[in-house]
Amino acid sequence: MVLSAMPMGEYDKRLTILTVERGKISVFARGARKPTSSLLACSQPFTFGEFTTYAGRNSYTVTNAQVANYFQGMRDDLTKMYLGMYFCEFADYYTREGNDEREVLKLLYQSLRALESGKYDARLVRRIFELKMISLEGEAPLVQECVCCGAKENLTHFFMRRDGVVCADCAGADLKYPKAEAVAANPFQQFPSMYQLSPSALYAMQYIVQTPSTKLFNFTLKDEALAELADVVEHYIKKHVNHEMKSLAVMEAMGM
């Protein structure tokens, strides 16, 4: 999957591609900006397929590509396009060359498919992608039992300070307000500490964390549950991802 494309020189491009075999790599597409180039179509973000490359001394060069999906429907809708760019930027931030990134590639592909299809609320697709991505990177929230007492029933809130769900009894304890010195040490503590979760929102979180990427997109949520999920995931991402996504900033500036 092409994550990004940057002009280089007069006619070339430098692509960032997420691969099965070698993780994330940078590839030069020579002459890809020429109108007659055979690489013109395949050197665009969201392009998914099989790329033929050769390794030079310091970089790879693509010579051919067999495209399986251009995600054209993404390019024809401004909201979908920017959200897709955000997904790619998120994947770019986390992945590395030489790592096994096939699960991230699967998630990215399935998320773009769901977004392009129009069958799912774009807000839900975004939150599924974000929560699953951070889970794949080893920072999944604890959503199966209370992080305070271990109870598996009556889980009603998400406790942001401990990155997991809590039962109704623990949610009613004196957990909501961090001490002043904790806030000074960690400004994130100024965010709300406790988030209410309906059974639907809780189940959605559990499902996203546990389910393979290929089976993620087969449910919907009502607006109330989606708002709860979005609130938790948004602040969880802010807490754990120490990076400003440029595409997300553009989306917010445009009111998307």
Domain extent for 45 = 1-70
pLDDT of residue 187: 46
Q: How far apart are CA 108 and CA 22, in angstroms?
A: 16
pLDDT of residue 151: 96
Classify residue 63: in a domain, yes or no: yes
Check whether 183 has a pLDDT greater than 70.
no
Phi, psi at residue 196, to the nearest 5°?
-75, 140
Is the pLDDT higher at 199 or at 55?
199
Classify residue 8: in a domain, yes or no: yes
Q: Tell me the C-alpha to C-alpha distance, in Å, between residue 27 and each of 37, 115, 241.
A: 16, 27, 26
Q: Are 17 and 29 in contact (CB under 8 A)?
A: no
Band (188; pLDDT cuts 50, 70, 90): very low
- For residue 119 the two structure tokens come to 């069958």
Classify residue 219: in a domain, yes or no: no
CATH number at residue 7: 2.40.50.140
Compute the average pLDDT of residues 143-153.
96
Please measure the distance between the N-terminal and C-terminal CA atoms of the chain and give it in whole angstroms. Answer: 25
Q: What is the DSSP string of the chain?
A: -EEEEEEETTTEEEEEEEETTTEEEEEEETTTTSTT-TTTTTSSTT-EEEEEEEE-SS-EEEEEEEEEE--HHHHT-HHHHHHHHHHHHHHHHH--BTS--HHHHHHHHHHHHHHHH-SS-HHHHHHHHHHHHHHHTT---B-SS-TTT---S-EEEEEGGGTEEEEHHHHTSS-SS--HHHHHH-GGGGS-SEEE--HHHHHHHHHHHHS-GGG--S----HHHHHHHHHHHHHHHHHH--S--HHHHHHHHTT-
Identity of the amino acid at 134: I
Classify residue 116: in a domain, yes or no: no
Q: How far apart are CA 164 and CA 169, in angstroms?
A: 15
Classify residue 194: in a domain, yes or no: no
**From 18-27, 52-61, 247-256, the region with the lowest mean pLDDT:** 247-256
Classify residue 25: in a domain, yes or no: yes
Phi, psi at residue 137, to the nearest 5°?
-90, 10
Q: How far apart are CA 223 and CA 211, in angstroms?
A: 22
pLDDT of residue 180: 45
pLDDT of residue 236: 96
Classify residue 166: in a domain, yes or no: no
* Strand arrangement of the beta sheet that strand 155-159 belongs to: 164-167, 155-159, 194-196
Classify residue 162: in a domain, yes or no: no
Q: How far apart are CA 136 and CA 83, in angstroms?
A: 20
Q: What is the average pLDDT score of the chain?
A: 91
- Count structural domains, the chain: 1
